[in-house]
Amino acid sequence: MKTTALVLVDIQTDFCCGGALAVPDADAILPVVNGLMRGFRRIILTQDWHPPGHVSFASSHPGQRPFDHIALPYGDQILWPDHCVAGTPGAAFSPGLNLPPEATVLHKGIHAGVDSYSAFLENDRRTPVGLDALLRETGVGEIVLAGLATDDCGLHTALDARTLGYEVTVVESGCRGIDAHGSLADAWKQMARAGVRLG
């Protein structure tokens, strides 16, 4: 029998209020997410875990600034401020997150030369991040998704989940987006077209 898992995306200090790459109003999801965790036995949290000098950092590309775009072998890459460097306080989960001891943590963005938005596949669209294997080995066929940011890592994780055959519900009140140039509305449209349900 297929079961359901709660997948929480990148609820980390650098993406919350005051962080290096803060998502607007991110801290507002914490009560929602803490409530969700009380209703699930299988909980997986993704955690951006970049090495220093990661390819997605503007500081790794002399003359470039945060939010510039560059071409990499796997396609277009947005450059970000340094964020979620492995082992630093910014990479830690938000202190407002009440993590149960049985939760599983999945690191992503760990390879220096490729970024990773989805928790299923890195941005080269070939390298597995690990979520698919983790879900399948525990018999999960449906995920409930929340976290940061809706129009970035949340979107890509939800779309890949649908492509791989999972049923997906995104809890809108448990997400916040960057919303650059209409990206949030576009993300919801993409998810709806892919058969993602809103919860």
pTM comes to 0.96
- Of all residues in the chain, the percent with pLDDT exceeding 70 is 99
Catalytic annotation present for 153: yes
Residue 71 in domain: no
| Average pLDDT estimate for 88-110 | 97
pLDDT in tens, 159-173: 999 999 999 999 999
Residue 188 in domain: yes
Q: How far is Cα 69 from Cα 89, in angstroms, rounded to an integer?
A: 27
Structural domains in the chain (count): 1
Domain with 32, as residue range(s), is 3-52+85-198
For residue 123, what pLDDT band results from cuts at 50, 70 and 90?
Answer: very high
Structure token pair of residue 178: 């960057």
Choose the catalytic residue: 10, 48, 151, 152.
Answer: 10
Catalytic annotation present for 108: yes
- Asked if residues 44 and 189 have their Cβ atoms less than 8 Å apart, the reply is no
- Of all residues in the chain, the percent with pLDDT exceeding 90 is 98
For all residues of the chain together, what is the average pLDDT? 97
2 has a pLDDT exceeding 80: no
Catalytic annotation present for 10: yes
131 has a pLDDT exceeding 80: yes
CATH number, domain containing residue 141:
3.40.50.850
Residue 21 in domain: yes
Residue 90 in domain: yes
Structure token pair of residue 173: 């009140």
For residue 79, what pLDDT band results from cuts at 50, 70 and 90?
Answer: very high
Choose the catalytic residue: 16, 48, 84, 108.
Answer: 108
Supply the pLDDT for residue 1: 60
Choose the catalytic residue: 16, 84, 153, 175.
Answer: 153
Supply the pLDDT for residue 27: 98
Residue 194 in domain: yes
Question: What string of DSSP letters covers 85-144?
Answer: BTTSGGGSBPTT----TT-EEEEES-STTS---SSSB-TTSSSB-SHHHHHHHTTEEEEE
102 has a pLDDT exceeding 70: yes
For residue 19, what pLDDT band results from cuts at 50, 70 and 90?
Answer: very high
13 has a pLDDT exceeding 70: yes
Beta partners for residue 72, in sequence order: 75
- Asked if residues 46 and 116 have their Cβ atoms less than 8 Å apart, the reply is no
pLDDT in tens, 38-78: 999 999 999 999 999 999 999 999 999 999 999 999 999 99
Residue 100 in domain: yes
| Average pLDDT estimate for 79-92 | 98
